[in-house]
Amino acid sequence: MCRSLFIEWYISGMNAAAHTAIVKSEAKRLGFDFCGISKAGFLEEEAPRLENWLKNKMNGEMDYMSNHFDMRLDPTKLVPGAKSVVSLLLNYFPNEKQEDLSAPKISKYAFGEDYHFVIKRKLKEFIFELNQKIGKDVNGRVFVDSAPVMDKVWAKKSGLGWVGKNSNLITKSSGSFFFIAELILDIELIPDGPIGDFCGTCTKCIDACPTDAIVSPHVVDGSKCISYFTIELKGAIPEVQKGKFENWVFGCDICQDVCPWNRFSKPHNEKSFDAKSELLSMNRKEWEEITEEVFQKLFKNSPVKRTKYEGLKRNIKFISSE
């Protein structure tokens, strides 16, 4: 290597190290629990898996999952010139529980403010600070579960955890109750390496799923999942599912609740994710008699708004007749 090329390579490496340190520092300052980096590129191993999953109609009525196939597999199609994918995890494991054990249940991630709002605020500040500390020429996009990005795959590639048999990302130190977000950037950063799979021979998540949605290790048939039925499905819930919902009316945490790694879950530190006391204290009768006025007030800026009032009433009626 000639001297000029060596110097250029050396400076480039020094810049990448410095920029990586800034990224990791900002992630911590903004409250993210984990930050990992991958080199942007085509996800060759995932292409046939995604194609097969879609071919077998495991997306159900989630037609958006089949859109932008190429973009899902290649971040450079989302961000021209992309060189790095920064994966971020934000804990949402609550310190509180719903008080009435017989009441309809909502997933833990929906206890507080919609995570899209919370995380996007953080990511906008993240990009702003990168521009301030690295330079205005840093270009990129931020993603929070609302674009064709295979977030769990990128988090796995960056060493934040492994994808468990229930298809959730699992960390050794804190379990799986995390939101995943990404920054796709056009700057070189030092990538982290993946870690191993620590599920071993455990099949607790597969055995516990009441609708048999986990059809094989690491493969979830989305069209059979309780979360799909209670959130994504717009029509009537199939009668064949009667008696299987175990009181879930928005989302489902069963496969995470039974995972041994979630004994290490720790309560989050994000005030925006705290549940309203009125939500936690609602009994079964109050859920069954919920009015649209109460729904709008109780779930303002909440993920539960996705299912709309009529959708939630449908779900409550479905489990009440089980």
121 - beta bridge partners? none
- End-to-end CA distance of the chain: give it in Å, rounded: 73
Distance CA 275, CA 293 (A): 19
Tokens of 240: 């064949």
Listed residue (258, 237, 256) closest to 311, CA to CA: 237
The per-residue DSSP string of 57-84 comes to: TTTTT-GGGGTTHHHHH-GGGTSTT--E
Tokens of 14: 């020094």
Distance CA 248, CA 8 (A): 58
Tell me which residues are annotated as active site.
145
Long-range contacts of 55-61 (CB under 8 A, 24+ apart): 56/221, 57/223, 58/215, 58/219, 58/220, 58/221, 58/222, 58/223, 59/222, 59/223, 60/222, 60/223, 60/228, 60/232, 60/233, 61/223, 61/232, 61/233, 61/234
Distance CA 25, CA 260 (A): 31
